Structure 1
Amino acid sequence: MPTSPEPFDVPVVDITPFVAGGADEDRARVAREIDDACGRIGFVQILGHGIPDAVQAGLAGAIDEFFGSPAEFKNSYRVAGANRGYSPPKSEALSLSLGIESAGANDFFEAFNVGAEARSFPGLDLSEADYGINVWPELPGFEPAVRGYFEHAGRVARTLTRIFAAALDLPPDFFARLTDHSIDVLRMNNYALPEHTTVTGEPTGMGEHTDFGIVTVLWADRVAGLQVLGADGRWHDVSPEPGALLVNLGDLTARLTNDRWLSTLHRVRPPIVDGTVRRRRSAAFFHDGNVDAVIATLPDHIGADGSAYEPIVVRDHIAAKLAGSRQGRSNPHAEREAARVRAAQG
C-alpha cells in the first residue's frame, strides 16, 4: 500500500523566557524547540513576542490606508533603483532572485518598503546607496504607526538571534556582532487590488523564493495563500495561529549552518473564489545583517568532506538577489535553492 505523506506543521514556540526573563531551563527548552523547527522546516510560529495588539492594529490600519489610496497617489512614492517605497502589481518577480522563471508573468502583489538608513548609524560612515532613504506617504498617522511596529519587530528579530546563538552553542553576542548596523527592511504587502480583482488562470501572488538575510518576522492575515515547500517536495498551506507571528530563516543563516538550518522556499498563491482574488495582507520584517559582514560557514558545520558555502559579503548577496526580483536579472548564485524549486516543479 502507498505510504501516507508525512504530516506538515509549523511548530508554535512561546519565546516568553527570552522576552520577559525566565529560568535557565526554560530558555534552554525554547532554544531546543527553535533548533528543532529550524532544522526540520525553517519556519516557526512564535507566541510571547511582546508586540502589543494596539501596535499591530496600527500597522494594519496604515496598510489599509495606503493601499486603499488611488493608484496615482501610490505611484508617486515609487523609488527607482532602491529597496524603498512603492512597488506596483507585476513590477517584481521574486523567483528570479533564485534564477528561476516563475509560471506567472511577474508577481500579483503590491508592496511598500521602509527600513534602516545609513544615517541611523552615526559615526560609521556608511553609504545610503547600501541602505536607501525612506519616503513617507502624506497620510495622517501612517509614519508613527509604521515606525512603532518597525521598532518592535526589530526587537523581536534581535531576540530571535539571541535564541539562535543559544541553540547553536555560539557566544551570546555572535549575531549581535553581525547585525549592529543591519540592513533591516519592513515590507508591507497587499494581494487583492481593486483594479486587478478579476483574474483568469492561477496568478502568482508572490513567486517561489527564499528570504535573503538572517531572519524574517512576518505579520500576516489569517487568510490562505502562503505556501511552504516541505521536505517531501510538496507545497503546504500555512496560516498563523491566533496571536502568533511567523518566523523563517534567510539564506545567510543557512550559509552559516551549511543548510543544517533551512532557508525554506515559500510562495504566495492568493485564493480565488469565482474568479476573484480574496484580499490578503502581510508585513515582513527582514533582519539581513551588516552590509559589510562576511558570512562563512561555521567551522563545526563544515561537512566531513570539506563542503561548505563560499564566504560572501552581505552587500553582494543582497544585491544579487534584488537584481533578480526587482530588476529582472536572473541570479546565477543560488544553485542549491534553485535545484529544490525545480524538484518541486517535477
Structure 2
Amino acid sequence: MDEQLDIKSRNASRLLAGAEMTETFTSIPVISLAPLFGGDTDAKQAVADEIRDACMQVGFFQITDHGVDMEVQAGAFAAAKRFFALPEAEKRKVSVKNSPLLRGYGGLLEENTDPDNDGDLHEHFDLALDLGPEDPDTLAGTYGCGPNQWPDLPDFRPPVMAYHREMVALSARLFRGFALSLDLPEDFFDPHITRPIAELRLAHYPPQTPVYDPEKIMGIGAHSDYDVFTVVATGPVPALEVQNAADDWIAVPPMPEGFVVNVGDLLQRWTNDLYRSTFHRVVNRTGLERYSLPFFASTNPLWELGVLDNCKSPERPARYAPISAAEYIGTLMRESYGL
C-alpha cells in the first residue's frame, strides 16, 4: 500500500509541476501515433508524454500515423459536398430544430458559438450513434442517444456512417493515449466509451466576404469545445486559428493526411485546468469554399467524472464538481442555438 501511495504522489507531482511551466506557443506540435498501435510500453509512454506536453502547453496538436482509411474519409468529404449542394429547402427538411438531440442541418448564421458575435458563417450537418426509437437509451430521453435525421439523398448515409465508425475507433485509441498521459491505466476509459456521445459534423464554410462584418461574423467565432476532445479533418483550405496566452491567433496549417486534435472542456475539468481547452476560431479568408469534418469525442452520456486525484492537491483543490457528458454538452449545445 505504501508503494502505491508513493507512485500516486510521484504522478501527481509530475502533472502538477507542469502547471507552472506554461509558455506562449507559436506553432502546433505534430505527434505520430504509431507506437499506440504497438506493444512497446516505453514507446507508448513516450507518445503519451508528448500528448501531455501538448495538452498542457497548447491544448492542440496534430497527429500522423493514425490508422484511419483515407478513402473512407474521402467518401465522407464527397458526401458532405453533395449534401451542401442541395437546395436550401431540401436541407431544411432535416433541420436540427426538428431533433431534440440537435442532429441534422444547421444553416448559415443559425449557430452562434461566441456570444459577442452575430452568428457563425457556416452550415453543417450533425450526426452521432444512430439508435432506433425503441432503444432503451432513446426511450429514456438521454442527450446523445437516439436516431439521426437523414436527407433524401441517395448514397449519403453509408459513407458518412463508415467514416463515423473510423473516428469512433480512432478516438478509442486516443482515449488510451490520454489515459497514459495522465498516468492512468491505459484502459481507464475503456468501460466508459462503450456507447459514447460521438458526434460527427460535416461543415461547409463559404468565403469570408465584405458582406459580413469580420469582427462580428466569421466561420466560427472564438470558442472552446464542449466535449472531451475533438479530432478534425480540416481539408486543404486553411482557416483554423488557435489563441495563445498573448492573445495572438496562431494559424493551423492543413495536413491532408493528418488530423488536428484539441482538448475539450470536459478534459480540462477532469484535469483541474492542467490540460487546456484552448479558444479557437475559423476565418475563411481564402476566397475558396472550405469543408471540414470535426468529430467530437466524449464518454458514455451518463458517466460522471470529477477532477482526477492526481490533478489536485491541498494547494490546488478541485475546481469542478463531477458532471456527466450528457448534462454538460446538452446544456451548452442548446444554449448555442438559443434554445
2:197 aligns to what SS in structure 1? strand
CA contact (8 A) 1:16 1:22 kept: no
CA contact (8 A) 2:25 2:244 kept: no
1:174 aligns to what SS in structure 2? coil
Q: Structure 1: which amino acid aligns with 2:334?
A: A
Which residue does the alignment assign to 2:325? Answer: 314
Deviates more, 1:303-312 or 1:140-149: 303-312
Which residue does the alignment assign to 1:286? Answer: 296
Q: Structure 1: which amino acid aligns with 2:192?
A: L
Query: Could you give the per-residue CA deviations for residues 111-160 of structure 1, whole angstroms, max 9, x where no partner exists?
Result: 00110145599676763552242112222221111011100011111100
Matched, 1:115 2:128: yes
Alpha-carbon spacing, 1:198–1:82, altered in 2? closer, same or farther (3 Å): farther
> CA–CA distance in 2 between the matches of 1:327 and 1:217?
26
1:112 aligns to what SS in structure 2? strand
Query: Could you give the per-residue CA deviations for residues 60-119 of structure 1, whole angstroms, max 9, x where no partner exists?
Result: 100110011111111111132432000011111112xxxxx22x3111110001101455
1:26 aligns to what SS in structure 2? helix
What are the equivalent positions in structure 2 for 1:1-346 lying under 5 Å apart? 8-19=26-37, 21-80=38-97, 81-95=100-114, 101-102=115-116, 104-119=117-132, 127-131=140-144, 132-192=146-206, 199-202=211-214, 203-271=217-285, 277-305=287-315, 306-327=317-338
> CA–CA distance in 1 between the matches of 2:55 and 2:139?
32
CA contact (8 A) 1:119 1:126 kept: no
Alpha-carbon spacing, 1:45–1:297, altered in 2? closer, same or farther (3 Å): same
1:173 aligns to what SS in structure 2? coil
CA contact (8 A) 1:117 1:134 kept: yes
**Cα displacement (A) at 1:314:** 2.0
Alpha-carbon spacing, 1:236–1:126, altered in 2? closer, same or farther (3 Å): farther
Alpha-carbon spacing, 1:125–1:140, altered in 2? closer, same or farther (3 Å): closer
Q: Structure 2: which amino acid aligns with 1:56?
A: Q
**Cα displacement (A) at 1:26:** 1.7
Alpha-carbon spacing, 1:173–1:22, altered in 2? closer, same or farther (3 Å): closer
2:96 aligns to what SS in structure 1? coil
> CA–CA distance in 1 between the matches of 2:110 and 2:336?
9
Unaligned runs of at least 5 residues, structure 1: 96-100, 329-346
Q: Structure 2: which amino acid aligns with 1:84?
A: R
> CA–CA distance in 2 between the matches of 1:30 and 1:143?
35
Q: Structure 2: which amino acid aligns with 1:130?
A: Y
Alpha-carbon spacing, 1:138–1:119, altered in 2? closer, same or farther (3 Å): closer
CA contact (8 A) 2:150 2:157 kept: yes
> CA–CA distance in 2 between the matches of 1:282 and 1:295?
30
Unaligned runs of at least 5 residues, structure 2: 1-22
With the length of structure 1 as denominator, give the TM-score of the two structures: 0.83
Q: Structure 2: which amino acid aligns with 1:93?
A: N
> CA–CA distance in 1 between the matches of 2:185 and 2:139?
27
Alpha-carbon spacing, 1:296–1:121, altered in 2? closer, same or farther (3 Å): farther
Deviates more, 1:23-32 or 1:117-126: 117-126
With the length of structure 2 as denominator, give the TM-score of the two structures: 0.85
CA contact (8 A) 1:255 1:296 kept: yes
Q: Structure 2: which amino acid aligns with 1:160?
A: L
**Cα displacement (A) at 1:307:** 3.9
CA contact (8 A) 1:41 1:231 kept: no
CA contact (8 A) 1:90 1:106 kept: yes
> CA–CA distance in 1 between the matches of 2:249 and 2:333?
24
Which residue does the alignment assign to 1:333? Answer: none
> CA–CA distance in 1 between the matches of 2:137 and 2:87?
39
CA contact (8 A) 2:242 2:249 kept: yes
CA contact (8 A) 1:186 1:286 kept: yes
CA contact (8 A) 2:272 2:311 kept: yes
**RMSD across aligned positions (CA):** 2.3
**Cα displacement (A) at 1:22:** 4.1
2:108 aligns to what SS in structure 1? coil
Q: Structure 2: which amino acid aligns with 1:87?
A: G
Q: Structure 1: which amino acid aligns with 2:79?
A: A
1:181 aligns to what SS in structure 2? coil
Alpha-carbon spacing, 1:121–1:210, altered in 2? closer, same or farther (3 Å): farther
CA contact (8 A) 2:64 2:258 kept: yes
Q: Structure 2: which amino acid aligns with 1:85?
A: G
Number of corresponding residues: 311
Alpha-carbon spacing, 1:91–1:249, altered in 2? closer, same or farther (3 Å): same
